[in-house]
């Protein structure tokens, strides 16, 4: 009996030791994975997408049940234009935490890049409805862009205005509002918002090009010409500069 009792004690001790060792090993792997993820995020923020992906994949091998890691992987694949892989990882992040709104917003962005506007809208609406989401101007502006591309201009205006109520200088919403007014043929409104935009962001050539189009729509050709010339100065020898040159020439020929 004593021998049997000793065997049981030894067996229980081994089981507890194994469990403790396994738990310690898991914690070590989690910490190593976390360190690798932070390194990957540093590369991602610097635009080194291949190096970021390498670190994230290493971290995933160590411990893959992490919503932040899968969200990072999704962002990296999206940056490398691998949209299906990006979607897969954003969905994995949501499988771990269905209420993780950053992954929902990123998932909507991936579908938006695929021009699947309806699916994108579904996710952006969910994020916009999350009262705890820190930067609601992003999903609201994304909703504006999705509806703009669907030709639903009134809805686009609605969401762009809501985004600007939160952050009056939010670039995506300012530009989105301007080009939506252009698409609707509302020249005075387009000029007004795009003049504010270039005042806030004078070095962004795209805004000057958009303003040139708004001036053209309002038949203020001198200001339109100057706006297109500003594009040529800011970003010479680019596709946008070539478009600005064509628009400038049209104005010259028209005059």
Residue numbers of the domain that contains 13 = 1-130
CA dist 241 and 244 (Å) reads 5
pLDDT attached to residue 121: 98
pLDDT attached to residue 249: 94
Give the CATH number of the domain where residue 64 resides: 1.25.40.10
Parts of the chain with a pLDDT under 50: 1-2, 7, 9-22
What does the pLDDT look like over 13-52, one tens digit per residue?
Answer: 444 444 444 456 878 888 888 998 999 999 999 999 999 9
Is residue 207 within 8 Å of 194, Cβ to Cβ? yes
- For residue 87, tell me if it sits in a domain: yes
- For residue 163, tell me if it sits in a domain: no
- For residue 96, tell me if it sits in a domain: yes
Q: Is the dihedral of CA 164, 165, 168, 170 positive or negative?
A: negative
pLDDT attached to residue 24: 64
- For residue 9, tell me if it sits in a domain: yes
Is residue 72 within 8 Å of 53, Cβ to Cβ? no
- For residue 48, tell me if it sits in a domain: yes
Is residue 234 within 8 Å of 205, Cβ to Cβ? yes
pLDDT attached to residue 16: 46
CA dist 8 and 217 (Å) reads 88
pLDDT attached to residue 148: 98
Domain tally, the chain: 1
**For helices 67-79 and 101-113, angle between their N-to-C axes, nearest 10 degrees:** 20
Burial string for 111-138 (b: 16+ CB within 10 Å, else e) reads bbeeebbebbbebbbbbbebeebebbbb
- For residue 41, tell me if it sits in a domain: yes
pLDDT attached to residue 255: 65
Is residue 117 within 8 Å of 150, Cβ to Cβ? yes
- For residue 150, tell me if it sits in a domain: no
Decide: residue 79, CB within 10 A, 0-12 exposed, 13-18 middle, 19+ buried.
Answer: middle
CA dist 87 and 103 (Å) reads 10
Residue with tokens 């509302």: 186
- For residue 84, tell me if it sits in a domain: yes
């Amino acid at each position: 009996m004593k021998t049997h009792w000793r065997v049981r004690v030894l067996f229980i001790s081994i089981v507890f030791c194994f469990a403790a060792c396994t738990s310690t090993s898991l914690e070590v792997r989690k910490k190593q994975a976390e360190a690798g993820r932070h390194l990957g995020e540093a590369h991602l923020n610097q635009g080194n997408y291949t190096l970021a992906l390498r670190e994230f994949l290493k971290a995933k091998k160590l411990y893959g049940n992490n919503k932040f890691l899968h969200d990072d992987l999704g962002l990296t694949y999206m940056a490398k234009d691998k949209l299906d892989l990006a979607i897969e990882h954003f969905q994995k992040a949501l499988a771990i935490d269905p209420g993780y709104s950053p992954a929902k917003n990123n998932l909507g962005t991936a579908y938006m890049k695929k021009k699947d506007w309806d699916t994108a809208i579904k996710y952006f609406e969910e994020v916009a409805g999350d009262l705890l989401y820190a930067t609601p101007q992003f999903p609201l502006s994304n909703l504006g862009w999705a509806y703009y591309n669907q030709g639903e201009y009134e809805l686009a205006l609605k969401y762009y205005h809501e985004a600007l109520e939160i952050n009056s200088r939010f670039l995506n919403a300012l530009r989105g509002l301007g080009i939506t007014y252009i698409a609707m043929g509302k020249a005075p409104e387009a000029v007004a918002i795009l003049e504010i935009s270039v005042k806030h962001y004078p070095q962004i050539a795209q805004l000057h090009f958009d303003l040139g189009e708004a001036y053209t729509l309002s038949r203020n050709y001198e200001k339109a010409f100057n706006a297109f010339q500003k594009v040529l100065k800011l970003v010479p020898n680019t596709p946008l500069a070539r478009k600005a040159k064509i628009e400038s020439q049209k104005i010259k020929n028209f005059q």
